[in-house]
Amino acid sequence: MESHVNAKRLFNHAHTLKLHTGNLVNRSRLKKKCPSSPSEELQDCIRGTLSEFFASTLSTHDSELPGVLDCTIPENTEAITPEEREELKVSVKLFLTESDCSSIRNAVDMACLSLGVSQLDSVIIAPPSFPEGEVQTLTHLQPLWEELEGLVHNQKIAAIGTSDLDKTLLEHLYNWAQVKPSSNQVNLASCCVMPPELTAFAKEFDIQLLTHNDPNELISAAGFQEAVQESSKELEVVDWRLEWVLRYSIIVKSRGIIKSKGYIVHAKKSSNH
C-alpha cells in the first residue's frame, strides 16, 4: 500500500516523465508471453518499468519530490563501454507525437546519455501521424529534417533515414536535403511487395530500403495514459501527454545479433489545470 501512496505523491508533483525500459532482450527471456505488436510491447514496458520504479522508490518527503521523474531501473540498463563501441551499431527509430523540433535533439541527447555513447549510428524519424485525409508533404518534413542534419553536423548522429515515404516524397526530400536520407522504412502491412518505382529510385541513389511492422501510431494518447494508470493505483493521468518515444537496438556488427534493445519515453504534464 505504501508504494501506491508514494507513487501518487511522486507522480502528482512531477511535470516531466522520462522513462527508460532498459534492455528488453534480457527481460523477454524472463517473460513467457511474447507481445503481439510493437504497441503492446511498449505498453507492457511502460507499465512494467513504472511499477518496478514505484516499488523501489522509498518514501520521500514533500521537500524532496522531484519535478522530473526519471524512471530508470539501473540494473536493467547497461551502458556501452568504449572498448566495445567499435564492434556495435546503435540504431534508433524516433516516434514523434507532436511536431516539436526540440524533441529530436532531446531524444538524441537522452539516448546517447542512457547508452553511454557520443554518437548514434543511425536515426530513423517517424513524424507524427496525420489526421484522416491529410497527406504528409515536404513542408511538414523540412523542419524535422533540418534538426536531424544539425545533429549530423555536430557528430551526434552518423546517418539519418525516413519512414513510410513514397517515391515522390522521398525524391523531393532527397533533392532538397543537404544530408541525404540513407534509408527509408517501408511498412509491410501496407504492401507485401516493394513498389518498383521506389525500389528503382532507392537503388539509383543508394538509399537502403528497410521493412518494419510498426503501426501508424505506435501508442495512442489513451494507450499511454492507460499503461501509466495500470502501473499504480489512483494515479492522475488525464493531464499527461506523450511527447516522443525512442526505440533503440544495439547490434553486434560481426554477428548481426541484437545485444540490447529498449525504449526511452518522454512525457509532460499539461499546465493548464
Q: How far apart are CA 183 and CA 163, in angstroms?
A: 8
How high is the pLDDT of residue 259?
92
Interatomic CA distance for residues 253 and 153, integer angstroms: 24
**In the chain, what are the domain boundaries?**
2-269
Distance CA 146, CA 105 (A): 11
Beta strands at 257-269 and 240-252: parallel, antiparallel or unpaired:
antiparallel
The pLDDT score that the predictor gives to residue 231 is 87
**What are the CA-CA distances from residue 2 to residues 6, 9, 56, 73, 154 (Å)?**
6, 11, 11, 19, 46
185: enclosing H helix or E strand: strand 183-187
Give the Cβ contact number of residue 81 at 10 Å: 9
- pTM equals 0.92
What torsion do the CA atoms of 236, 244, 166, 195 make, to the nearest 10 degrees? -80
- Ranges of the chain whose pLDDT falls below 70: 1-5, 27-35, 58-63, 190-192, 272-273
How far apart, in whole angstroms, are the C-alpha atoms of residue 238 and residue 230?
13
Q: Provide the pLDDT for residue 273.
A: 47
116: left (phi over 0), alpha (psi -120 to 50) or beta: left
